[in-house]
Amino acid sequence: MSIILAHTDTPAGRAAREFAVREAQRRDADLILFPVDDAEPDPRAPELTGLDPDRVRVQRPDPRSRIAVGDLVDATGDEDVEAVVVGVRRRSPVGKILLGSAAQQIILEAECPVITVKPE
């Protein structure tokens, strides 16, 4: 079984990464780092200590795709995926209506449970 981390290099993304590592350990699952911005994930990063390096991998969006989040949502349909972990930031109710976000698309369209994490 696997957990997908919607990887971003933001405070919310770092909080999600910490949670995803703990969740992968708790579930004894593989961790898939899926970049949704320009930040390149490192499967050997020190933040991933505690996980077997052979159970951490990067899955990149299709290079022909314009929207990485759509590829991530498609990946949630794999029968092996247990959950997606995504970092979110605080937004006002009006901001949620007027501005779309990658996290919102993942939450609404993923075919597996989505765990949202806010930074402290």
User: How confident is the model over 45-72, as a mean pLDDT?
Assistant: 86
Cβ count near 37 (within 10 Å): 14
Give the domain 2-117 fold.
Rossmann fold (3.40.50)
User: How confident is the model over 62-74, as a mean pLDDT?
Assistant: 85
Q: Which residue has the tokens 């390096």?
A: 53
Both tokens assigned to 32: 């898939």
- Is the pLDDT at 99 greater than 70, yes or no? no
pTM: 0.87
Could you state, in order of their start, the residue ranges of all structural domains in the chain? 2-117
Both tokens assigned to 28: 């004894």
Provide the mean pLDDT of the chain. 87
Q: What type of residue sits at position 18?
A: E
